[in-house]
Amino acid sequence: MQPANTAYGELPKMADKKGFLHVMKGDARTENAFMKFPTNTLKAADSIIEVVLRLYKFGGGDGPANVKISDCSWSRNDITFASSVDFGSKVCSSGKTAVFPKGEEEWVDIKLKPDLVQSARLAGNHICLQISGGPADAPTVLASELSDKKPELILYVKKGKTKKEKEPAPKDGVQKEKEKKQKEKRDAFKDTNEKQLVQKYTKEALEENKRKAAADALKIQDSFDKKIKEKTGGAAKEVTKDEVTKRVEAALEQKVATKKAKMIADSDAKLALELSKSNLKGKGLADLEKQKKKAAGLAIGQAVADYKASETKKLMNEFGAANKAKLDKVKMDLQAEANKKIAEVKETASKLSSAQRSIVDTEVKAALQEVMDTYNTKKGLPSEKVKDESAAAVAKKAEADAKKKAEKTKVEELQGKENDKAEAKKNEEAKAAAVEEVSKDKKDEKKDSVEQAAAGRRGHAATPDKKKDEKKDGDESVEQTAAGRRGHAATPDKKKDEKKDGDESDEQAAAGRRGHAATPDKKKDEKKDGDESDEQAAGGRRGGGNAAAAAAAWRDLRDSLHANDAVHMLDEAPLFHVGN
């Protein structure tokens, strides 16, 4: 792609050019810069009376600074030199300030015509500018909004008078609830997109750091490879070899001298022994000694040469290994130093610098403003300026939300476990209570059986015709009848104003006695209620009016006893159900 058709602001494609702008005008090359400033802080009636464009110059040459009002129908990802040829319109820079100075790393203030800037801001939601000029041979380098020294458009504004708006009618509950829900949805949408944008731009910055760190690591390793080669190879290696040779020669000289002296001493001792055993004298002995010494000298010379060769090889290996270990240590130490520097570069690259955080904040704010403007337009809501919030704060908030959610989940899990334990304990206690109740009921039944048996014996004595297999209720009736007689006999001093119920009990007891005597032929399998009804009927016929009243009272008492038994069973039933 030709430079004229290249979007130098496109990210992350042009990440290596992020943070700075070029301005130059030469015969072979021309570069312009474009800037866009939002105007949502101004009110419709405000008037701009003075304007200063403040730019930070990193470096480059000097030259004129031409600022024009620009069309705003562009974005940093798509604007090219070819597409922006007709964007610049009226020149708004003026005076002596419209120049780029020779200095570096300094702020440059350029005054602009306030009437042209005022007209531009009334035409839309942004003030857009084109910066051209600069030197002819090399560009002036300016800081962009993606640096920590962002361009600034300083406006001096005269506040205009606005008509007092009519106070809106009080909002009813429905309208308030609707606006509340709209705000909650908008806030949730903003938070979600803000987190996504922070992650996106942070990831891009860190990936750029990673690429740069990888390149820096290669440079560091290359630098240390040269040092290692210098310290352990080439001339250094030859010097080390010479040192090894000298050490070997020095050590060998001493060893050979010692070995040779020992060989000579051993040879002389052996020769003396041989001469003493030869039995020769005079010239014969002298000739033999001369001959033997010559032979021994040759043998010793060869042995010394062999020893020297063997020891030389041995010492060369020994000193060579020591020398190699020394060179390896030098290499290892240098590589460790290189690894440390590389690790530091990678560690630094894993985090954003303060300047990068500032750039990410700016990118997030600009992108989020566009997202929210689109959202508000689509929903028919008024536009709102996105508040400044650092990427670090957003990331920290997201981390806190995630941590809070995790803690809530953990608490809920623990609470669930505690509830399960409490429920299990409750069931165990209910089961134990049921078992205890059953045991208690069995004991009570056993006790009742014993009492009923005793009462039955007494009742049998009073009513000899009663069958042994009569049911519990029949036995209790007999027992109650006998108890009525005993109770009446035991209270001779009852007052005359005793209640009617006491008299009826006596009458029922008497009616019971007559009834039993009147029905001796009842069948064994006849039910208790039928027996009692027949007995009461017979007693009523013989007893007249009092007997009839006694029979009616007896039926009421019987029904009352049965009702109490039913209630008791209903109370018992749930315990058995839980126990099962």
Closest CA to 244 of 162, 176, 327, 139: 327
pLDDT at 398 over 80: no
Shared domain for 15 and 137, answered yes or no, is yes
Looking at per-residue confidence, does 400 or 25 come out higher? 25
Shared domain for 450 and 557, answered yes or no, is yes
pLDDT tens, position by position, 465-484: 444 444 444 444 444 443 44
pLDDT score recorded for residue 40: 82
Shared domain for 530 and 571, answered yes or no, is yes
Shared domain for 457 and 534, answered yes or no, is yes
Last-in-domain residue among 349, 369, 395: 349
Shared domain for 56 and 94, answered yes or no, is yes
Would residue 390 count as lying in a domain? no
Cβ neighbours, 10 Å, residue 538: 19
Would residue 356 count as lying in a domain? yes
In the DSSP assignment, the letter for residue 234 is: T
pLDDT at 538 over 50: no
Would residue 402 count as lying in a domain? no
pLDDT at 409 over 70: yes
Would residue 361 count as lying in a domain? yes
At 277, the pLDDT band (50, 70, 90 cuts) reads confident
pLDDT score recorded for residue 64: 94
Domain, as residue range, for 215: 180-231+352-379
Over residues 166-170, the mean pLDDT reads 65
Shared domain for 189 and 245, answered yes or no, is no
Shared domain for 225 and 267, answered yes or no, is no
Shared domain for 123 and 190, answered yes or no, is no
Domain count, the chain: 4
Would residue 404 count as lying in a domain? no
pTM beyond 0.75, yes or no: no
Shared domain for 325 and 473, answered yes or no, is no
At 443, the pLDDT band (50, 70, 90 cuts) reads low
Q: Please enumerate in sequence order all residues whose Cβ is within 8 A of that of 540, keeping only pairs 6 or more positions apart, or say none.
A: 511, 547, 548, 550, 551
pLDDT tens, position by position, 357-382: 888 888 898 889 989 989 998 888 88
Distant-in-sequence contacts of 89-93, Cβ < 8 A, 24+ apart:
90/116, 91/66, 91/67, 92/51, 92/67, 92/68, 92/116, 92/117, 92/129, 93/53, 93/65, 93/66, 93/67, 93/68
Q: What is the mean pLDDT of the chain?
A: 76
Shared domain for 456 and 537, answered yes or no, is yes
Last-in-domain residue among 94, 128, 158: 158
User: Does the CA dihedral 198-199-203-206 come out positive or negative?
Assistant: positive
pLDDT score recorded for residue 197: 93
pLDDT tens, position by position, 486-520: 444 334 444 444 444 444 444 443 344 444 433 44
Shared domain for 130 and 31, answered yes or no, is yes
Comparing 94-108, 303-317, 491-505, which segment has the lowest mean pLDDT? 491-505
Over residues 310-317, the mean pLDDT reads 87
Comparing 53-67, 235-249, 486-500, which segment has the lowest mean pLDDT? 486-500
